[in-house]
Amino acid sequence: MEMNNNSSRILSLEEMMDITKRPSMRSCVEEGMHKGAIDSVVLKEVESKFSGTGKRIVLNIKVIVEDEDGKEVALYLSPNFTWSTKGKMIKVLQDLECLPEAGERLDIDAMVGMKVKVVVENTEKDGIEYSNIISMKRAKESKVPSNKNRKIPQRKTSSQEELEELNELDDMGEDFEIEE
């Protein structure tokens, strides 16, 4: 590392290699179900071979999920913007529980931050593998268990292992009641 007269410095080769590397634009995760959150929702005009104008409007939904290494990956779902009941957008909005009533406006800002579960399938095009969201549903918030058919005796956890077991039961989403 060299310093020059203006008190700026010349980057080392290693530093230069780090900052000049263009990040990978490939968004790929393992196939299957992933938990994530909607990061942004925008209406976007894109090219279309099937439109008379050569353009179409899509509802571009950016979802952040974690890959197998715990790194955040951006995936996109972009259904055509159409109010047709045959269109994919209606199904997506129903699954996200944010389909507006007839005569009401779609509140895309309310979708940002929403916790979701996505099902991903990978495809290859021109030798590059991509992850595609095939379906997306709003993740249900944890609720206080209401089923009184299953009872688990109340106990105090004295070890981290027991606490982890209870957390696993809680994560399984099973309904149970604590006996007193």
Q: What are the domain boundaries of the chain?
A: 23-138, 143-180
Eight-state DSSP code of residue 16:
H
The type of residue at 48 is S
Q: Which residues of the chain have pLDDT under 70?
A: 1-7, 17-26, 142-180
**pLDDT for 127:** 87
> What pLDDT score was predicted for residue 172?
47
**pLDDT at residue 180 in the model:** 41
- Of 136, 43, 58, nearest to 94 by C-alpha is 136
Are 44 and 57 within 8 A, CB to CB? yes
* DSSP bridge partners of 143: none
What is the per-residue pLDDT for 9?
79
